[in-house]
């Protein structure tokens, strides 16, 4: 049975909402400054297409090393990647196979007792990242099964880190 130890779902609708808002603002702004409704609509449409291509490109190309979900299944770990355009990638590995675990940074929370670290690890020559701040599930005890020594040190360094 698979056990989810980390889950940081992608809010895929956010960038598309921003595209709609900015395109509407461009069309409305053009009309406000004296362009005809047709010219404003045309400008907003062009802006919409360009922004949509940029957002789709980012969703397809950029999020290839961000982990959205980690599951444990006995002797195997499966990492789901955050790509939100197209089919998200999956990487399977054995616990202990991932190396070079590092704390990249702490979240910039005013109350440092609530700060949650961002982590990275290397697997087969590629560096992957986990962002614990905002994660829906961050089961530290479950993550210890992947790399016990690193997560024991992490909990010792950040005693307020909660599951």
CA distance 53 to 50: 5
Note the pLDDT of residue 44. Answer: 92
CB atoms within 10 A of CB 119: 22
d(CA 20, CA 42): 14
What are the 10-residue block averages of pLDDT along the chain, 163 residues in total? 86 86 93 91 93 86 85 90 80 92 71 70 93 84 89 82 64
| Separation CA 134–CA 14 (nearest Å) | 15
| Alpha carbons 118 and 28: distance in angstroms, whole number | 40
Predicted confidence at residue 108, as pLDDT, reads 57
The pLDDT assigned to 123 comes to: 94
For residue 26, give Cα distances in angstroms to 17, 56, 64: 14, 20, 31
């Amino acid at each position: 049975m698979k056990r989810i130890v980390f889950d940081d779902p992608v809010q895929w609708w956010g960038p598309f909402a921003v595209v709609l808002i900015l395109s509407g603002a461009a069309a409305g702004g053009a009309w406000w400054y004296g362009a005809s409704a047709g010219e404003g609509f045309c400008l907003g449409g062009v802006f919409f297409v360009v922004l949509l291509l940029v957002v789709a490109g980012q969703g397809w190309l950029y999020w290839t090393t961000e982990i959205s979900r980690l599951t444990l299944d006995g002797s195997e770990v499966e990492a789901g990647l955050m790509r939100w355009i197209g089919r998200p990638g999956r990487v399977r590995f054995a616990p202990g196979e991932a190396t070079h675990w590092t704390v990249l940074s702490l979240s910039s929370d005013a109350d440092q007792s609530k700060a949650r670290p961002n982590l990275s690890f290397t697997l087969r020559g590629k560096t992957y990242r986990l962002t614990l701040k905002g994660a829906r599930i961050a089961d530290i005890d479950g993550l210890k099964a992947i790399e016990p020594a690193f997560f024991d040190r992490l909990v010792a360094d950040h005693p307020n880190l909660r599951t």
